[in-house]
Amino acid sequence: MTATSHRVSYHDTLRTLSEASVEQHFDAFVDIAWDDPAYAVDPRDERWVLPQADVLGSTEWYRSLPLERQIEVGLYRQANVTKVGLQFEQVLIAGLMNFAFALPNGSPEFRYATHEATEECHHTQMFQEFVNRAGVDVAGAPRLFRALGPFLPLAARRVPVGFFIGVLAGEEPIDHVQKAILRSGNEIHPLLGRIMQIHVAEEARHIGFAHQYVEHRAPRLRRHQRFVLALAFPVIMRWLADAILVPSRQARRDMGIPRSVVREVYWRRPESRQMLRDLFADVRMLAERAGLVNRASRVLWKLLKIEGRPSRFRSQPSSAAA
Ligand SMILES: [Fe+2]
Ligand SMILES: [Fe+2]
């Protein structure tokens, strides 16, 4: 593809994404029947038991808890993951505003970035409403992430490619886990099911945009910038994925998960390791395509235990799933 035709197709993709946002979007308080009795949150409901698709739910420890404890831990866990998701999205919205603030007139990214921020605002509202109705006072992300939260969005203006790598580091794991739960066929609470369904539908566009942006902009950076970003790439992925997937110290205490179980699940067990690696198949493909891989960065991917074969196309089923 020539440089001009590549640019044209980038612009076209962004326009298609924007038009899709106009055509299909959800409002947290229009598209969810919060007061439908079927959506009521009953803290003794067996549907709060964690599915196997949640690595914690698949442990011996969890499975051998009495049913009431499984329900209690399950509700807490699901509310906490939701809270972490919304905190991450708050950082994302602030970053999108910093990013759009610096864009010149006529920039192709302005419109889509703003559609994305609009959608994320609705996600934070629906997530917080769920947490409130779950009635558990969860803290969400680990302390370090919460402390850095107000500063991370500044990266969107200074190092936008790095920022969108961070966006993927959060969106890919959340999306992966939600899709696994929806596909598992387990009976999930209809309120949570509806929220996940809305989220998965809109995240597909957000993830598509971040991939496009990084792939289009990274090759246009200076060599030394690309070198540094290649090294930062796996570090950002692993740090943010841990912040989202691993329960914080507070959450572990609240759920009473023994330390040995935490160590096993995150990420010593072979199944957990495989899952961690599978989460990043699409971003490994992106790193290759965007020219953000070098010899030193390959070592980092490996040290951080997220190396592996890149996908050949986005959302290719993982080896484990196949
Ligand atoms: Fe979202
Ligand atoms: Fe998103």
| CA pair distance 252, 266, nearest whole angstrom | 12
DSSP secondary structure code for residue 316 in this structure: P
Amino acid 318: pLDDT: 64
Q: Which ligand has the shortest distance to the CA of 172?
A: 2
Domains of the chain: 65-321 (1.20.1260.10)
List helix spans (H) across the chain. 3-23, 60-63, 67-101, 109-134, 143-148, 155-158, 160-183, 190-217, 223-245, 249-255, 259-263, 270-279, 281-289, 295-303
Residue pLDDT tens, the chain, 322 long: 667 777 779 999 999 999 999 999 999 999 999 999 999 999 999 999 999 888 899 999 999 999 999 999 999 999 999 999 999 999 999 999 999 999 999 999 999 999 999 999 999 999 999 999 999 999 999 999 999 999 999 999 999 999 999 999 999 999 988 998 888 888 899 999 999 999 999 999 999 999 999 999 999 999 999 999 999 999 999 999 999 899 999 999 999 999 999 999 999 999 899 999 999 999 999 999 999 999 999 999 999 999 999 988 887 766 544 3
Give the up-direction half-sphere exposure of residue 144: CA atoms within 13 A in the CB hemisphere. 8
Q: Whole-model pTM?
A: 0.94
At 226 the pLDDT is 97
**Ligand 1: centre distance to CA 225 (Å):** 29
Q: Are the C-beta atoms of residues 65 and 71 closer than 8 Å to each other?
A: no
Hey, how many other C-beta atoms are within 10 angstroms of the C-beta on 177? 21
How many other C-beta atoms are found inside a 10 Å radius of the C-beta of residue 185? Answer: 9
> Per-residue b/e over 25-60, b at no fewer than 16 CB within 10 Å?
bbebeeebeeeeeebebeeeeebbbbbebbbbbbbe
Task: State the pLDDT at residue 320.
Answer: 44
- Could you list which residues have their CB under 5 Å from ion ligand 2? 203, 206
Output the CA 84–ligand 2 centroid distance in Å. 13
Whole-number Å distance, alpha carbon 207 to ligand 2 midpoint, is: 7
- Tell me how far the alpha carbon of residue 114 lies from the centroid of ligand 1, in angstroms: 13
The Å distance, Cα 137 to ligand 2 centre, comes to 24
Q: Could you say which ligand is closest to the alpha carbon of residue 171?
A: 2
Answer for the pair 74, 58: CB distance below 8 angstroms, yes or no: no
CA of 201 to the centre of ligand 1 (A): 10
Per-residue confidence (pLDDT) for residue 68, from 0 to 100 = 97
The alpha carbon of 119 and the centre of ligand 1 are apart by a number of angstroms equal to 7
Q: Give the ligand with the smallest distance to the CA of 127.
A: 1
Distance of alpha carbon 110 from alpha carbon 96, whole angstroms = 9
For residue 121, give the ligand nearest its CA: 1
Ligand 2 geometric centre to CA of 159 (Å)? 19
Q: Using CA atoms of 19, 22, 26, 29 in order, give the dihedral in degrees to the nearest 10.
A: 160
Whose structure tokens read 């080896």?
319
HSE, CB side, 13 Å, CA atoms: give it for residue 7: 5
Distance 295 CA to ligand 1 centre (A): 34
